[in-house]
Amino acid sequence: MPKIDHRRFKDELYAEFARVAEAVASPKRLEILDLLAQRERNVEDLAREMTLSVANASRHLRILARARIVEMRRAGTFVHYRLASPAVYALLRGIERLAADRLPEVGAVLRRHLAERAMTDLSPSELVRRLRERRAVLVDVRPESEFAAGHIAGARSIPIERLAKRTQGLPRDREIVVYCRGTYCVWADEAVELLRRRGFVAHRLSIGPPDWAALGEKLEAAG
């Protein structure tokens, strides 16, 4: 083995690590990763949801692609983006957990906008048991396209904008467990509030499908 230049080795190595850190050092790029964790999306789709110009969304995606954090797939005239690997999602959630642990401002933002949240931390096995025993109903309030891309087994798809008109189809003798994209997705909070106002026993699952998959559980896809 040749003599190791320790300083040069560390400088080159940490420069590569910093490429990843620099690529995710943007609120908008972190949000893009959160959206891509749900399903593949094209730049127009992302720009529309995030109220960005297509040019701005494209710039953020190029930065993520250069760091190999996202990958591209061409289909006709469209380019679709997805997370490059499960490690990217682990990085995203790690950043969120660290921020929540170390920055009191995270909790302050939650209290300012969401007040008390009706969360439940059911384990996968306990949730599956309650569904099997017909003690609970699982509702996915994300858009249908995200439900189709991957959802927790046994869930019903009722997008949040349709929930108010479809509560009559939900049983009143079971707990309604609601989930959306993940811990900081507020559709589930809105759904629980609506259901409770109408007399249901309702809680939101503290995680979403990407977290479910990260725990080693399989997701179902529609079609």
Core vs surface per residue 41-78: b (16+ CB within 10 A) or e: bbbebbbeeeebeeeebbebbebbbebebbbeeeeeee
Contact indicator for 61, 32 with CB cutoff of 8 Å: yes
Strand partners, 72: 81
Contact indicator for 89, 83 with CB cutoff of 8 Å: yes
Contact indicator for 217, 126 with CB cutoff of 8 Å: no
Q: State the catalytic residue, choosing from 180, 191, 202, 207.
A: 180
Active site residue 185: no
Euclidean distance between CA atoms 23 and 2, whole angstroms:
33
- Which amino acid is residue 87, in one-letter code? A
Q: Cα–chain-centroid distance for residue 85?
A: 15
Long-range contact list for 129-132, CB < 8 A, 24+ apart?
130/175, 130/177
Active site residues: 180
